[in-house]
Structure 1
Amino acid sequence: MVRVAIIGAGIVGLTSAVNVQKSIPGAKVTIIADKFDKDTTSAGAGGLYRPTAALVKGVPPETVREWVQDTWDYYTSLAMSPEAGETGQTLVPGYMLSDNQSAVQNQLFESIVFNFKLLTPDDLKRLKLPFKYGCSFVTVITQPQKFMPWLMRKFKEQGGTVEFRTVGKLDELAGAYDIVINCSALGSRQLVQDHSMYAVKGQLVHVKAPWVKTFLYCDDKKTPTYFIPHDDCIIVGGTREEGNYSIDIVPEVQEDILRRAGEILPQIKGGRVVGSWAGIRPSRDPLRLEKELLTIGGKKLRVVHNYGHGANGVTLSWGTSLRAARMAKEWAQEITPSARL
């Protein structure tokens, strides 16, 4: 029996775990993490499917397209299934806006999402949107507060086990596991001494405004403003603070988010603030998705690294996890070449 450990229980770790179970039937798969569910950064994500090549640096465009297409196919299949309510995927129409024309003519996703259309100056005027350029489309929103518990249930139903602890070094797993999938995100700075990992802080506000049914994403390199409808609130953001490792809620930042939001979408002013959140996007340029063979104390440890997704964690997770699972399968076939995997 092939023994596989997944380090990390964010959305990348969970999607990697369920895909490994599919790729290597009969494997004993364990998720090891010191943060689960609501304690992970993934749990606070807005979940808007909006792949942006500018945020996936150093990866060939054709590879990024495969990742985002695979994720889109899976998420939309859930959104159009009887499991949509349980998994937290919803098809939602909305707008992306910018004063930079290239920001709304995104070839990476305009042929993937539904009903993509560039807005005319007259469209923007009638919609009272204070930007020079815009586009409309239907995309999928994933609510991690639903999707992640659902993934964990699926994982356990397939025989997966969970261990709550911090892994300081990969050496600790040599001998106990044949394959390790490293989804430790920012923890990889310590775990594998990867100092190319860096933090990008994001802060959000949860607003009760059920009359807002569409998403809006207003592009600005320093302070993007966005509105993402979830079941119980609108996720209003946000910030992009590179190098900030704090997860404290800053009142002045929240006030600025709400001020910007009200200027763009006045109807949000009638809503009620019901929560706040801040988290660190674990970023790397490029993200790391590769195999590594280690020899520790004379024992071989086969590793697949899958981390560094930054702001694209939800959008890329399923696609990169499919690739990570295939790499794990290749390792497994080396271990048990006669096995039918």
Structure 2
Amino acid sequence: MVKICVIGAGIVGLSSATITQDRFPEATVKIIADRFGNDTTSWGAGGLFRPSLKHITGTSPQTVRKWCHASWDRYIGLAQSSLAKETGISLVTGFVASRENEDFMFKEITINAHDLSKTELKRLQLPYNFGVSCTTVITEVTKYMPWLMKRFQERGGTLEQRTIKNLNELAGEFDIVINCCGFAALDLVGDKKVYPIRGQLVKVKAPWIKHWYLTSDNTYLIPHCDCVIIGGCRQKNNFSTSVDPEMSADIMMRAKKLFPQLEGAEVIGEWAGLRPCRSPPRIEKEFLFSQGRKLRIVHNYGHGANGITLSWGTSLDAVDLVEECMNDLRTSKL
């Protein structure tokens, strides 16, 4: 029986693990991670599906579009199914606004997308030159990730809390490793192309806000069932995971200036985390040799702030590479 290990229990790791189970039901799959659940970076994600080429560099637009379309098909399928409540995925209408005329992929993938006129932007009190209105999906990760984990374990998947220092540790223990370690790739595989972009969010209770808003100034609102997520910031190479009170104050100031409807909202939480960025995201296979053993590695990390949007699409590609590794494994045993 083929033994497969997934390193990392964030949204990318869980997606890779469940797709692997779908594709290779005869294999055993284990997730090894030093952090699970609310200790992962993914747990703090706002969850807005926002297809864009702006922050995904080094990869061809065709590939990025393929990843986004694959993820969209996954999420909208769940949003329109009997699993919508359990997975925390819903269709929500909202607005993206920008000072420059960007290539808004929202119009290509989402539902009922159209350009906002100057009059509409004025009515929305959005001081921007360009905008799009559309219906997209919002994934409440605090529901979706536990659902993925439950599904993974019900189908025989196992977990181990462990810090892997070197991939060679796994040689002989597993046949194939899917590396979804995110920012930890800097140390685990010495990938100097990986860097953090720090993000910070504020959670408020504002049930009267039903639409999402996304601006090119990193200020946004994302409604969840029990709160509204307010962001944010993009601080490159800031390694701090502690909440900065001054940043929270700045986020709230910016948000209230743009969205006066936030007045009266009660702050109920804050979060800060490091988005694992890489140009391009690393979706590729690699063979390592340790003490005469061949370890087949598939890398799937470096999604930055686009983990929700890209995770299912890149994981499908990663599992295609796992299939190539499976074929190599079969050939080596002949």
State the TM bucket, normalised to the shorter chain. Answer: over 0.9
The corresponding residue for 2:309 is 315
Output one character per residue of 1:255-284: Cα deviation in whole Å (capped at 9) or x when no partner.
110011011110112210000000000110
TM-score normalised to structure 2 length: 0.98
8 Å CA contact 2:106, 2:134 repeated in 1: no
Residues 109-157 of structure 1: per-residue CA shift (max 9 Å, x gap):
3121001110111111222222222110000001110000000011011
Partner of 2:294: 300
Structure 2 residue aligned with 1:5? 5
Deviations 1:191-214 (A, max 9, x none): 111111101000000010000000
How far did 1:336 drift?
Answer: 2.8
- Paired position in structure 1 for 2:283: 289
What is residue 225 of structure 1 aligned with on the other side? 219
Contact 1:208/1:274 (<8 A) preserved: yes
CA distance in 2, matches of 1:50, 1:13: 20
Matched residues in 2 for 1:98 and 1:63: separation?
24
Shift in Å, 1:338: 12
Indicate the residue corresponding to 2:327 in structure 1.
Answer: 333
Preserved contact between residue 11 and residue 314 of structure 1 (Cα < 8 Å): yes
**Any idea what the Cα deviations from partners look like across 1:220-270, whole Å, max 9, x if unmatched?**
2xxx00000011100000010000010111111111100110111101122
The residue aligned with 1:67 is 67
Contact 1:23-1:326 at 8 Å conserved across structures: no
Query: How far apart are the structure 2 equivalents of 1:283 and 1:197?
Result: 6
User: In structure 2, how many angstroms separate the alpha carbons of the residues matched to 1:128 and 1:171?
Assistant: 56
Amino acid at match of 2:250: D
Q: Does 1:253 align with 2:250?
A: no
Q: Deviations over 1:50-104 (max 9, x none)?
A: 02112110101111111000000000000000100100111000000111122xx
The corresponding residue for 1:43 is: 43
Match status 1:29 vs 2:29: yes
1:173 maps to 2:167? no
CA contact (8 A) 1:201 1:246 kept: yes
Q: What residue in structure 2 maps to residue 79 of structure 1?
A: 79
The answer to whether residue 91 in structure 2 is matched with residue 94 in structure 1 is no
**Structure 2 portions without partners, runs of 5+:** none
Measure, in 1, the Cα distance between the counterparts of 2:106 and 2:296.
Answer: 34
Number of the residue aligned with 1:129: 126
Instruction: Find the residue that maps to 1:249 and give its secondary structure.
Output: coil
CA separation in 2, counterparts of 1:288 and 1:213? Answer: 36
Q: Say which of 87, 104, 116 aligns to 1:119.
A: 116
In the alignment, is the contact (CA less than 8 A) between 1:24 and 1:332 conserved in 2?
A: no
Matched, 1:153 2:147: no
| Partners of 2:146 and 2:330 in 1: CA distance | 32
* C-alpha distance in 2 between matches for 1:281 and 1:330: 29
**Percent identity over the alignment?**
51
Q: Which residue of 2 aligns with 1:262?
A: 256
Could you tell me which runs of 5 or more consecutive residues in structure 1 were left unpaired when the two chains were aligned: none
Give the letter for the 1:68 counterpart. C
